């Protein structure tokens, strides 16, 4: 298999900080390679170096000749004055430039023979590139990703932020690029759009390099893994789970090997201690000293990956009655969001609320937690229940300029600062970080602090609206484990396939106009049957 991208001794410095060091990798042609690593390790930076957006300090990136590279753009407002279809076609720069030059020549009032010759050349090149199919191809991509057809010929500036992301993804996929670089391509995609993207990439014959926190997506499409840690990169063949198992096995083998070596070292040291002064055994002691000098422990590389400790305990077990909703209806701005919703939540339920109707999911959570009132219907909680809520929009919790310890204190039975700082330490806020102001926290840090708040409340019902937003893959893994092990009732919405499939035993999908489907089943079974 031919290598399409090669890096040679690649280094990148930001002032006195070395972001990338001595990167020597080869990406096989036709592979789908995931770039993984802990938050802040330099994944996006490395992609920018590969794409040429950032120059390396030392070393170089070598591409095979005449390869067209397409990159998923992150500037969501860059095309606000362009039509949606035009924005997608701009993904093939050469084709787009031919189209624009044709338009300019045809619109000239003084069209001459030279113009005729030039436009003839352009038309031939345009036809060779299947230019007449460009609009149709762009429409197919947009439909697959899930953009409403009503927006296809609208201005980008009129689209929501989420829809702009979908258009830019279609732009990167357009025109069959030789190398496709995707940074978090599944953001804002529902499950249908994710499945479409997975199938698109599986059928894609060229090379893909992708960064994603979606474990199911990585397992489904990836053939290779590039693991970046402490500025260095190692390549593995296989998908994400294979990398995880392999890396854990290697670490275990090295630890086991070192344990045997350490035991041998102790045995030799004890013999030398006992018999080095014994004349009859001095030769044996000397030989063991030489043997001891030859034993070297394997250097086990430490990872900068950090997993927060997420564990939702309950203060008391649930009774038979948990939550009953009767005839819940709600309209917002003239739109039917919920219509005659009737649900009984049982004490063993872990319910995933899915579907494209995000407003319905969020509104329901607000109603059952008392933040909003329904237009009609009733909400009845069981007498033994207590709930803790993670809202999708949690900015209101961080308006007070307090430190992390004082933020958590109202939710904790234990008020001692030492306890709260210890608790924060398990959530990766170590040392003096516990005393920094909540106003300066990143998106991921705010989410971890909200989980801390929930854990301290020890509620027997947890409600989570899109809890994986802003999290790295390590935190998502910890959250997944915490929700799976939770002994109470869990009500949650998410687009994370792995999270839903491993946690939920009941699926409720919201359709348009307030309609819904309610099934006691796993997510895999639900998708296969629907």
Per residue in 323-362, pLDDT (tens digit) is 999 999 999 998 899 999 999 999 999 999 998 888 999 9
Where does a domain end: 206, 224, 243?
A: 243
Question: Considering only CA atoms, which of 460, 454, 321 is closest in space to residue 379?
Answer: 321
* Domain identity same for 328 and 457: yes
* Domain identity same for 341 and 480: yes
Under 8 Å CB-to-CB from 442, ≥6 apart: which residues? 470
* Domain identity same for 254 and 377: no
> Across residues 3-14, what is the average pLDDT?
88
Where does a domain end: 226, 243, 260?
A: 243
Judge whether 189 lies within some domain: yes
Element (DSSP H or E) covering residue 164: helix 161-173
Judge whether 258 lies within some domain: yes
Judge whether 299 lies within some domain: no
* Domain identity same for 229 and 255: no
Give this prediction's pTM.
0.80
> Across residues 307-320, what is the average pLDDT?
93
Under 8 Å CB-to-CB from 20, ≥6 apart: which residues? 10, 11, 12, 42, 45, 46, 49, 56, 231
* Domain identity same for 111 and 222: yes
Under 8 Å CB-to-CB from 429, ≥6 apart: which residues? 404, 445, 448, 449
Domain range for 257:
244-294
Judge whether 312 lies within some domain: no
pLDDT at position 300 over 60: no
pLDDT at position 301 over 60: no
Judge whether 86 lies within some domain: yes
Tally of structural domains, the chain: 3
Token pair for 44: 């996006």
Judge whether 305 lies within some domain: no
Judge whether 469 lies within some domain: yes
58-63 vs 3-14, strand pairing mode: antiparallel
Any idea which residue has 């069959």 for tokens?
176
Judge whether 301 lies within some domain: no
* Domain identity same for 287 and 379: no
* Domain identity same for 252 and 239: no
Let me know: does 369 contact 333? Beta carbons within 8 Å: no
pLDDT at position 286 over 90: no
* Domain identity same for 131 and 259: no
CA distance 27 to 33: 8
pLDDT at position 493 over 50: yes
* Domain identity same for 52 and 102: yes
* Domain identity same for 114 and 127: yes
Q: Which comes out higher in pLDDT, residue 213 or 247?
A: 213
Where does a domain end: 243, 261, 276?
A: 243
CATH code, domain carrying 106: 3.40.50.300
pLDDT above 90 coverage of the chain, percent: 57
* Domain identity same for 365 and 289: no
* Domain identity same for 269 and 359: no
Instruction: Give ∠ CA 506-496-235 in degrees, rounded to 5.
Output: 140
pLDDT (tens digit, 9 = 90+) per residue, 367-377? 999 999 999 99
């Amino acid at each position: 298999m031919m290598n399409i991208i090669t890096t040679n001794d690649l280094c990148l410095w930001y002032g006195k900080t070395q972001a990338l060091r001595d990167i020597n990798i080869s990406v096989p042609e036709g592979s789908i390679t995931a770039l993984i690593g802990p938050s802040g390790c330099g994944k996006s930076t490395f992609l920018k170096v590969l794409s040429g957006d950032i120059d390396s300090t030392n070393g170089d990136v070598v591409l095979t000749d005449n390869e067209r590279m397409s990159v998923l753009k992150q500037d969501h407002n860059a095309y606000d004055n362009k039509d949606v279809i035009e924005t997608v076609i701009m993904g093939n720069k050469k084709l787009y430039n031919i189209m624009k030059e044709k338009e300019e020549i045809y619109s000239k009032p003084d069209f001459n023979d030279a113009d005729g010759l030039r436009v003839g050349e352009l038309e031939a090149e345009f036809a060779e590139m299947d230019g007449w199919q460009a609009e149709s191809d762009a429409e197919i991509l947009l439909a697959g990703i899930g953009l409403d057809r009503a927006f296809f010929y609208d201005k980008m500036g009129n689209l929501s932020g989420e829809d702009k992301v979908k258009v830019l993804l279609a732009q990167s996929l357009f025109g069959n690029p030789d190398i496709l670089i995707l940074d978090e391509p599944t953001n804002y995609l529902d499950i249908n759009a994710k499945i479409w993207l997975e199938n698109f990439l599986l059928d894609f014959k060229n090379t893909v390099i992708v960064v994603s926190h979606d474990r199911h997506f990585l397992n489904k499409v990836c053939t290779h893994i590039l693991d970046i840690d402490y500025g260095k990169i190692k390549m593995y063949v296989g998908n994400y789970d294979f990398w995880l198992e392999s890396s854990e096995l290697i670490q275990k083998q090295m630890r086991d090997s070192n344990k045997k070596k350490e035991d041998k070292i102790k045995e030799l040291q004890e013999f030398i201690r006992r018999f080095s002064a014994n004349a009859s055994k001095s030769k044996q002691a000397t030989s063991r000293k030489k043997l001891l000098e030859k034993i070297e422990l394997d250097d086990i590389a430490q990872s900068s990956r950090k997993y927060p400790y997420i564990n939702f305990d309950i203060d008391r077990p649930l009774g038979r009655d948990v939550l009953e909703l009767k005839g819940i209806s709600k309209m917002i701005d003239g739109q039917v969001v919920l219509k005659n919703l009737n649900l009984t939540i049982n004490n063993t339920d872990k319910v995933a609320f899915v579907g494209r109707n995000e407003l319905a999911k969020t509104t329901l959570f607000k109603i059952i937690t008392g933040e909003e009132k329904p237009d009609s219907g009733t909400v009845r909680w069981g007498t033994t229940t207590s709930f803790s809520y993670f809202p999708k929009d949690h900015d209101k919790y961080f308006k007070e300029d307090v430190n992390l310890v004082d933020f958590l204190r109202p939710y904790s039975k234990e008020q001692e600062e030492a306890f709260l700082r210890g608790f924060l330490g398990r959530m990766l806020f170590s040392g003096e970080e516990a005393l920094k102001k909540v106003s300066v926290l990143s998106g991921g840090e705010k989410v971890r602090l909200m989980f801390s708040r929930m854990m301290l409340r020890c509620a027997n019902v947890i409600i989570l609206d899109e809890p994986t937003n802003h999290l790295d893959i390590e935190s998502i893994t910890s959250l997944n484990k915490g929700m799976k092990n939770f002994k109470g009732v869990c009500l949650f919405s998410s687009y994370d396939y792995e999270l839903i499939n491993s946690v939920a035993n009941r699926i409720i999908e919201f359709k348009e106009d307030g309609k819904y489907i309610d099934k006691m089943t796993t997510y895999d079974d639900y998708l296969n049957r629907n």
